[in-house]
């Protein structure tokens, strides 16, 4: 267990905390925890690269921690009616779709290498910015309803495009002899 992996595990451990803070209406604290989670994500990546502490476990743990945090935030914000339910459904469905494709490729003895596509990186960045925008708006009462509505559509479109890109990649992989 390397230091970057321990930091990543810490990020997984705070998921229930941020869920509780959001559903309890403690948006200022939720915003701080979300920012700290983002900083920890950057730190663990930096340490892994800088000190050659990359690991196979970390390659799986890091995106798992990121997705657990984002999906939990989207679901909790939907639960308290602060983001549209359709957006949470798209975000969660995309992640389940990708996981299902990976599992199916293993079952069919055609394992696929999980690698982030450029559209996926853009999508993840947009999902993070939207979560920060919503939590920050709730914490600091900035009145960004119009921006939140517009950004929800952007995140929805990017999430669908990302899912489609992974589908194309998966079909190409599975079709190879």
- Listed residue (145, 155, 140, 147) closest to 73, CA to CA: 155
Q: How confident is the model at residue 60 (pLDDT cuts 50, 70, 90)?
A: confident
- Reply yes or no on whether the pLDDT at 167 is more than 90: yes
CA dihedral 69, 4, 58, 16 (to 10 degrees): -20
Count of C-beta atoms within a 10 Å radius of residue 58: 20
Averaged pLDDT for residues 161-175? 96
- Tokens representing 43 are 């730190």
Write 140-144 long-range contacts (CB < 8 A, 24+): 140/28, 140/31
User: What's the angle, vertex CA 121, arms to CA 152 and CA 173, rounded to 5?
Assistant: 115
- pLDDT score for 89: 98
Region label for 141, one of left (φ > 0), alpha (ψ between -120 and 50) or beta (otherwise): left
CA distance 155 to 122: 10
The chain-wide mean pLDDT, for the chain, equals: 95
- Listed residue (155, 142, 128) closest to 35, CA to CA: 128
Q: How confident is the model at residue 177 (pLDDT cuts 50, 70, 90)?
A: low
Averaged pLDDT for residues 49-57? 93
Query: Which residue matches tokens 């929800």?
Result: 152
Q: How confident is the model at residue 170 (pLDDT cuts 50, 70, 90)?
A: very high
Percent of the chain at pLDDT exceeding 70: 99
CA distance 117 to 165: 8
Averaged pLDDT for residues 121-138? 97
- State the fold for domain 3-175: 1.20.120
Q: Give per-residue pLDDT as tens, 95-128.
A: 999 999 999 999 999 999 878 899 999 999 999 9
Q: How do the domains of the chain map onto residue ranges?
A: 3-175
Prediction pTM value: 0.93
């Amino acid at each position: 267990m390397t230091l970057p992996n321990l930091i990543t595990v810490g990020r997984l451990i705070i998921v229930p905390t941020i869920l509780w803070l959001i559903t309890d209406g403690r948006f200022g604290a939720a915003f701080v925890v979300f920012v700290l989670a983002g900083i920890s994500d950057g730190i663990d990546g930096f340490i892994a690269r800088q000190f050659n502490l990359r690991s196979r476990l970390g390659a799986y743990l890091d995106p798992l921690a990121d997705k657990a945090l984002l999906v939990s935030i989207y679901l909790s914000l939907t639960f308290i009616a602060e983001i549209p339910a359709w957006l949470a459904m798209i975000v969660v469905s995309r992640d389940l779709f990708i996981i299902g494709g990976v599992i199916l490729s293993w079952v069919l003895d055609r394992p696929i290498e999980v690698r982030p596509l450029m559209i996926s990186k853009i999508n993840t960045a947009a999902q993070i910015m939207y979560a920060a925008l919503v939590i920050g708006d709730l914490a600091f009462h900035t009145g960004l309803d119009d921006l939140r509505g517009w950004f929800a559509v952007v995140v929805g479109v990017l999430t669908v495009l990302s899912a489609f890109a992974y589908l194309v990649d998966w079909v190409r992989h599975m079709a190879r002899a």
